[in-house]
């Protein structure tokens, strides 16, 4: 039976169109066409026909970029850029995992597991162990602890399934592998974006990126352990010491159990590098324009896909120690914008001031009082001899004079003691207490009157964020005590007074609590007295601070009388134009947690 031209075109149009449509919008733009690493097969034929008009007929029909023809097996893989050896491997994989020329999702998962396992097998083993790996898939040994229902598998299948009929032909498998494995990494980045974009909306959220990292960590560890286990006889035969192999397997298993912190940090780094417009989403264009900054876990998966079709695979990947962190991030901290060190600090703060894993409004006040007080205290460097002792004292006095910053030894321990003894909360005005009550209301998103670790961490992640938008939302909501959705002169004046009195009184309490310690360290008494007098004087003239802050807000908005400020207006001005009352509070928020 002779196929018509229309039938021939229809047989190729789906996968060839998808090979050009990199942004999955069902359209091929001129830029996508120009960036294609090789022309679709039909256009290659047309190009060849045009070439014969001016040049001598080529000696063979293989077009530029395509591998040589493998008689009898490579016709449907022609034009995909594979070498003869790679064509034979793809055909072998397909034949082993297909039935009647078609491959369903389950068999595709088996093929993918076998192919990815080649990343852990050397070429020396290749011919001798290929059938053994395939046997271990059939008996389940190579599939232990591997979940083929994760997006890495089903999104890969959808990427390969160009006809969307829930089964793959050899041509579809070849085309999918060509797009996932061939060329420079920038050419494979579209595939990596697709399998992460489980919502298929052209954008990656924090959740999608975290889930990809988690699924890949589990997949990598499972395939690594399974392959090294079933390949043990071959590896020992090649001279690997038994104890090294056993240690490597145990190391992979242990590191997987402690992978959460690394995944969290990698997600934060990914968005810091790729989310250029800071909208908490990574668009396809942001992804493709910054492929050199795509995290190394994506590069690792891409290289494993390359090993599916290439015979030059290493003996096995030595698992890098920094691939998975040894620190465990608690589940309540997952999905929040914390580094591992910051997460540890949040957990430590919560455990110190909570009761039965719940934190009351009063406990939150004590916790934040200590955290805010740390802004006025610094650790005095350890002194080793008389010269260094004098230098440390001079630094302490200089810091004290410039910002009245108390530099004391064992500052963290002292702050905890002063907070527990009530010295930091001593004499706080009702307005200051109202400040912490407002914070509690903003943190208590479930309105249950108590904070658990997750709600406490979520609140701090917004308050202490280095991005202005979440901090601005906290500042705006703190000022909008009546929840009206806008600020006016009255609400601004009320907040500025409340915040100024709180910080001045807290600073004064720190000075009083540290008085004896500073004297013991050599601080002159008159300096401490003068500092206390200065702070008391400012407390007595808070109205001047409030008026100055209101004037700055008025100048910022270009009006004499502030009638209404929406959050959009507030956010639009940016941090640089805010009065010092706000910017100092932002600095205090940032100082609450260690820098990431």
Ordered domains of the chain (ranges, CATH): 91-328 (1.10.238.10), 333-592 (1.10.238.10)
Higher pLDDT, 68 or 82: 82
Confidence of residue 52 (pLDDT cuts 50, 70, 90): very low
What percent of the chain lies above the pLDDT cut of 70? 73
| Phi-psi region at 294: left, alpha or beta (left = phi > 0; alpha = psi -120 to 50) | beta
- Taking residue 107's Cβ as centre, other Cβ atoms within 10 Å add up to 17
Side-chain-side CA neighbours of residue 573 (13 Å) = 21
pLDDT at 437 over 50: yes
Instruction: Report the run of H or E that residue 389 belongs to, with start and end.
Output: helix 386-403
pLDDT at 436 over 80: yes
Instruction: Find, among 81, 73, 7, the residue nearest to 44 by Cα.
Output: 81
Residue spans of beta strands (DSSP E) within 400-452: 406-408
Burial group, residue 160, by CB count within 10 angstroms (0-12, 13-18, 19+): buried
Cβ contacts of 451 within 8 Å, gap of 6 or more: 354, 358, 359, 364, 440, 443, 444, 459
User: Any alpha helices (H) in 480-541, and if so which ranges?
Assistant: 489-520, 525-540
Which pLDDT does position 19 carry in this prediction? 62
Burial group, residue 485, by CB count within 10 angstroms (0-12, 13-18, 19+): exposed
Which pLDDT does position 50 carry in this prediction? 52
Alpha-carbon gap, residue 108 to 170, rounded angstroms: 11
Which pLDDT does position 335 carry in this prediction? 58
Q: What is the DSSP letter of 406?
A: E
Side-chain-side CA neighbours of residue 69 (13 Å) = 8
- Contact in structure between 575 and 468 (CB atoms under 8 Å): yes
Q: Which two tokens stand for residue 3?
A: 């196929």
- Contact in structure between 569 and 557 (CB atoms under 8 Å): yes
What percent of the chain lies above the pLDDT cut of 90? 12
User: Any alpha helices (H) in 151-309, and if so which ranges?
Assistant: 151-160, 170-181, 185-196, 206-230, 232-237, 242-257, 260-274, 284-289, 296-309
Confidence of residue 195 (pLDDT cuts 50, 70, 90): very high
Burial group, residue 65, by CB count within 10 angstroms (0-12, 13-18, 19+): middle
- Please give the angle made by the CA atoms of 414, 416 and 418, to the nearest 5 degrees: 70
Tell me how far CA of residue 114 lies from CA of 110, 143, 161, 209, 531, in angstroms: 6, 9, 19, 25, 72
Side-chain-side CA neighbours of residue 4 (13 Å) = 3
Beta-bridge mates of residue 378: 407
Side-chain-side CA neighbours of residue 555 (13 Å) = 9
Q: Measured on CA atoms in the order 574, 575, 580, 585, is the torsion positive or negative? A: positive
Q: How confident is the model over 262-319, as pLDDT tens digits?
A: 888 888 888 988 988 888 999 998 998 888 888 888 888 888 888 788 754 443 443 3
Which pLDDT does position 64 carry in this prediction? 36
Alpha-carbon gap, residue 192 to 284, rounded angstroms: 11
pTM of structure: 0.46
Q: Measured on CA atoms in the order 248, 249, 251, 255, is the torsion positive or negative? A: positive
Q: How confident is the model over 80-119, as pLDDT tens digits?
A: 877 777 888 888 889 989 998 899 999 999 999 988 888 7
- Contact in structure between 199 and 155 (CB atoms under 8 Å): no
Which pLDDT does position 56 carry in this prediction? 38
Q: Which two tokens stand for residue 406?
A: 């108390």
Instruction: Report the run of H or E that residue 487 belongs to, with start and end.
Output: none
Locus of tokens 């070498």: 83
Mean pLDDT for the stretch of residues 392-410: 54
Report the greatest alpha carbon distance in the chain: 106
Which pLDDT does position 112 carry in this prediction? 92
Tell me how far CA of residue 361 lies from CA of 178, 207, 506, in angstroms: 59, 30, 18
Alpha-carbon gap, residue 337 to 231, rounded angstroms: 41
Instruction: Find, among 44, 84, 73, the residue nearest to 61 by Cα.
Output: 44
Which pLDDT does position 402 carry in this prediction? 46
- Please give the angle made by the CA atoms of 256, 258 and 264, to the nearest 5 degrees: 100
User: Coil, helix or strand for 290?
Assistant: coil
Which pLDDT does position 554 carry in this prediction? 79
Higher pLDDT, 162 or 62: 162
Instruction: Report the run of H or E that residue 88 belongs to, with start and end.
Output: helix 84-97
- Contact in structure between 78 and 64 (CB atoms under 8 Å): no
Alpha-carbon gap, residue 40 to 14, rounded angstroms: 11
Cβ contacts of 394 within 8 Å, gap of 6 or more: none
Alpha-carbon gap, residue 256 to 244, rounded angstroms: 18
Beta-bridge mates of residue 316: none
- Contact in structure between 222 and 143 (CB atoms under 8 Å): no
Query: Mean pLDDT for the chain?
Result: 76
Alpha-carbon gap, residue 161 to 381, rounded angstroms: 63
């Amino acid at each position: 039976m002779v196929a018509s031209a229309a039938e021939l075109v229809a047989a190729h149009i789906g996968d060839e169109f998808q090979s050009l449509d990199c942004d999955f919008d069902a359209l091929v733009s001129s830029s996508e066409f120009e960036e294609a690493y090789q022309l679709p097969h039909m256009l290659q034929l047309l190009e060849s026909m045009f070439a014969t008009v001016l040049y001598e007929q080529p000696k063979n029909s293989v077009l530029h970029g395509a591998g040589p023809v493998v008689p009898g097996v490579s016709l449907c893989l022609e034009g995909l850029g594979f070498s003869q050896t790679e064509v034979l491997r793809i055909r072998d994989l397909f034949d082993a995992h297909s039935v009647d020329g078609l491959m369903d999702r389950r068999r595709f998962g088996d093929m993918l597991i076998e192919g990815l396992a080649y990343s852990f097998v050397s070429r020396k083993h290749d011919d001798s162990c290929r059938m053994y790996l395939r046997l271990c898939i059939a008996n389940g040994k190579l599939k232990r602890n591997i979940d083929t229902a994760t997006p890495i598998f089903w999104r890969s299948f959808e990427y390969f399934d160009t006809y969307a009929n829930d089964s793959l032909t050899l041509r579809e498998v070849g085309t999918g592998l060509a797009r996932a494995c061939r060329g420079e990494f920038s050419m494979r980045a579209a595939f990596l974006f697709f399998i992460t974009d489980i919502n298929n909306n052209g954008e990656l959220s924090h959740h999608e990126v975290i889930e990809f990292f988690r699924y890949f960590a589990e997949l990598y560890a499972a395939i690594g352990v399974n392959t090294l286990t079933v390949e043990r006889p071959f590896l020992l035969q090649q001279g690997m010491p038994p104890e090294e192999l056993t240690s490597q397997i145990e190391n992979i298993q242990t590191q997987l159990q402690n992978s959460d912190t690394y995944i969290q940090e990698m997600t934060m780094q990914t968005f810091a590098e790729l989310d250029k417009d800071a909208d908490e989403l990574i668009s396809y264009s942001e992804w493709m324009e910054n492929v050199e900054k795509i995290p190394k876990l994506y590069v690792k998966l891409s290289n494993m896909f390359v090993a599916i079709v290439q015979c030059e695979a290493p003996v096995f990947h030595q698992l890098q120690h920094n691939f998975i962190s040894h620190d465990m991030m608690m589940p309540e901290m997952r999905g929040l914008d914390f580094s591992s060190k910051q997460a540890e600090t949040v957990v430590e703060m919560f455990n110190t001031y909570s009761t039965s894993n719940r934190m009351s409004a009063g406990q939150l006040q004590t916790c934040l009082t200590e955290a805010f007080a740390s802004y006025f205290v610094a650790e005095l460097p350890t002194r080793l001899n008389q010269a260094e002792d004098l230098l440390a004292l001079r630094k302490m006095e200089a810091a004290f004079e410039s910002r009245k910053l108390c530099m004391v030894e064992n500052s963290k321990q002292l702050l905890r003691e002063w907070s527990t003894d009530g010295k930091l909360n001593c004499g706080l005005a009702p307005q200051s207490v109202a400040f912490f009550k407002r914070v509690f209301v903003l943190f208590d998103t479930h309105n249950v009157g108590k904070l658990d670790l997750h709600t406490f961490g979520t609140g701090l992640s917004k308050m202490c964020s280095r991005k202005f938008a979440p901090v601005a939302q906290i500042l705006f909501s703190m000022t909008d005590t009546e929840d009206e959705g806008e600020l006016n002169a009255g609400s601004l004046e009320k907040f500025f007074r409340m915040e100024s009195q709180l910080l001045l009184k807290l600073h004064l309490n720190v000075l009083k609590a540290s008085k004896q310690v500073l004297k013991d360290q050599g601080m002159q008494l008159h300096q401490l007295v003068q500092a206390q007098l200065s702070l008391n004087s400012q407390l007595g003239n808070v109205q001047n601070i409030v008026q100055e802050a209101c004037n700055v807000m008025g100048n910022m908005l270009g009006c004499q009388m502030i009638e209404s400020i929406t959050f959009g207006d507030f956010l639009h001005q940016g941090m640089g134009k805010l009065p010092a009352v706000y910017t100092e509070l932002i600095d205090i928020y940032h100082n609450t947690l260690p820098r990431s």
